[in-house]
Every structure is written in structure tokens, then in C-alpha cells.
């Protein structure tokens, strides 16, 4: 909780109009506090900070080698923007069906990049960068520098 305390405090205020202190000082309400935190919306600040935390992203990749299938947004997260995108998706499907060979096209589904997928890509890039740096240091080890001195390890 300490790592994301500010984000959790902000989210509880923004989404539930509660103070962490109100629930934290009474040990019998800790379970309630944990339940409220776990049920914060997917777009909350706490989740955003979690998925941008390299340690959390690494732990998620290790725990889930394959990313989970993205689930459709719940009714609480449905918005006019998602409704408009769904309409565009439906119209594109009709256009493809009428301009193509007359066969019914496969159902198209919008697949937004989830924060988990974005964090997973960050771990992969970081791992590739570390591998590259390790190989370059191994190749350059013992090689003379421009001044004629050997590079320090």
C-alpha cells in the first residue's frame, strides 16, 4: 500500500468520497478498505501507477507468461466514446461485406491495447536492452579505446 498510497488516496476520494484515514484508523474497517481498493475502476490512478511500475510489470509477466484475453468493458465503464466506436465498427463491417466478394466478413472486434499489454511490451523492451548492453560490454571488454588504453570493466 505504501508504494501507491497517494494514488489510492486520490482514487478513494475521487470515486467514493472517502479518506483512507477514516478507514485505516479502525482495524475492523481494513477489510472494507481493501475491498474498495480492489474494486476501483480499471482506469483509476492506482492501476495506472501499477502498470507503469517496472517491478509490478515484471511480476505480472512472470505470473502470466501469456497475456489474458481482454474482457469487454463493464457497464460502469461504458461511455459515449465506446458507443461511437462500436457503431463505427458495425458500419465498417457492413461496408466490407458489401464491397467485398459478397461473403459475410468475419466479425471484427476492436482490440484496444490494455495497460497490462503495454507493461508487458515495456518489460520485453527493457529485457532486450539489457541483453544488448550485456553483449556489447562483452564484445568491448579488452578492446583498446581511442586513446590506446583498455576499457575498464
The C-alpha cell that represents 67 in the structure block: 497475456
pLDDT tens digits for range 5-64:
888 888 888 888 888 777 777 777 788 888 888 888 878 899 889 888 889 888 888 888
Backbone angles phi and psi of 130, in degrees to 5 = -65, -40
> Predicted confidence band at 114 (pLDDT cuts at 50, 70, 90)?
low
Predicted TM-score (pTM) of the model is: 0.47
Q: What average pLDDT does the chain have?
A: 76
Amino acid at each position: 500500500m505504501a508504494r501507491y498510497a497517494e494514488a489510492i488516496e486520490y482514487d478513494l476520494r475521487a470515486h467514493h468520497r472517502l479518506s483512507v484515514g477514516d478507514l485505516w484508523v479502525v482495524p475492523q474497517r481494513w477489510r472494507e478498505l481493501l475491498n474498495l481498493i480492489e474494486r476501483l475502476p480499471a482506469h483509476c490512478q492506482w492501476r495506472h501507477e501499477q502498470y507503469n511500475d517496472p517491478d509490478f510489470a515484471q511480476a505480472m509477466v512472470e505470473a502470466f507468461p501469456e497475456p489474458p484475453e481482454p474482457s469487454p468493458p463493464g457497464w460502469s465503464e461504458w461511455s459515449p466514446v465506446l458507443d461511437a466506436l462500436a457503431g463505427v465498427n458495425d458500419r465498417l463491417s457492413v461496408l466490407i461485406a458489401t464491397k467485398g466478394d459478397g461473403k459475410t466478413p468475419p466479425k471484427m472486434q476492436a482490440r484496444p491495447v490494455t495497460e497490462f499489454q503495454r507493461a508487458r511490451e515495456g518489460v520485453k523492451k527493457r529485457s532486450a536492452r539489457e541483453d544488448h548492453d550485456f553483449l556489447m560490454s562483452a564484445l568491448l571488454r579488452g578492446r583498446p579505446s581511442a586513446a590506446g588504453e583498455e576499457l575498464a570493466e
